[in-house]
């Protein structure tokens, strides 16, 4: 089922804990991204529970939109499964690891966006909207709060 949705997250230029890479290098050079598996009942960290429904990941920092990356694949990993990243895994918990394709829409105006914000946007709306923030707001107005 094609959802055509982009999950947009903040991406720091800081070095990832216990790695030789920055968070941006993990995405832009290695073409990977990972987030903790929501494993506890009532987990309120806001990460999507069904990574198979994420077709695109978008990244921003405090001032810029860094682009949309198609998700090529994802897999469940334990910290020891990926030694080069395991030190960066939150609370030494299992994570979903994504392999990403080539970016597009880099440099689109961000608009008023919380620096650490994670939001959903419809890809078609994102491509047409003036800013990323506008796209997220229009998506929410069109579809309600997306939960995947």
Model pLDDT for residues 12-45, shown as the tens digit of each residue: 989 888 888 999 999 999 999 999 888 665 555 6
Q: Which residue has the tokens 């689109």?
A: 108
Q: CA-CA-CA-CA torsion for 24, 28, 31, 36, nearest 10 degrees?
A: 20
**pLDDT tens column, 77-127:** 998 898 888 788 877 888 999 999 999 999 999 998 877 778 999 999 999
Q: Is the pLDDT reported for residue 58 higher than 90?
A: yes
Q: How confident is the model at residue 145, as a pLDDT?
A: 74
Contact of 106 with 60, CB cutoff 8 Å: no
Name the phi and psi angles at 90, rounded to 5.
-60, 125
Q: Is the pLDDT reported for residue 2 higher than 60?
A: no
Q: How confident is the model at residue 45, as a pLDDT?
A: 67
For the segment 129-135, the average pLDDT, to the nearest whole number, is: 95
Task: Output DSSP code: residue 16.
Answer: P
Q: How confident is the model at residue 84, as a pLDDT?
A: 85
């Amino acid at each position: 089922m094609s959802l055509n949705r982009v999950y947009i997250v903040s991406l720091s230029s800081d070095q990832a804990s216990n790695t030789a890479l920055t968070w941006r290098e993990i995405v832009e050079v290695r073409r990977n991204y990972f987030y903790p598996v929501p494993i506890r009942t009532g987990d309120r960290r806001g990460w999507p529970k069904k990574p198979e429904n994420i077709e695109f990941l978008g990244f921003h920092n405090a001032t810029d939109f860094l682009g949309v990356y198609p998700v090529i694949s994802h897999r469940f990993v334990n910290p020891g499964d990926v030694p080069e990243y395991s030190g960066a895994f939150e609370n030494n918990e299992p994570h979903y690891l994504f392999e990403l394709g080539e970016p597009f829409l880099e440099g689109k105006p961000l608009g008023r966006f919380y620096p650490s914000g994670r939001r959903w946007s419809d890809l078609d709306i994102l491509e047409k909207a003036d800013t990323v923030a506008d796209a997220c707001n229009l998506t929410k107005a069109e579809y309600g709060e997306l939960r995947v």
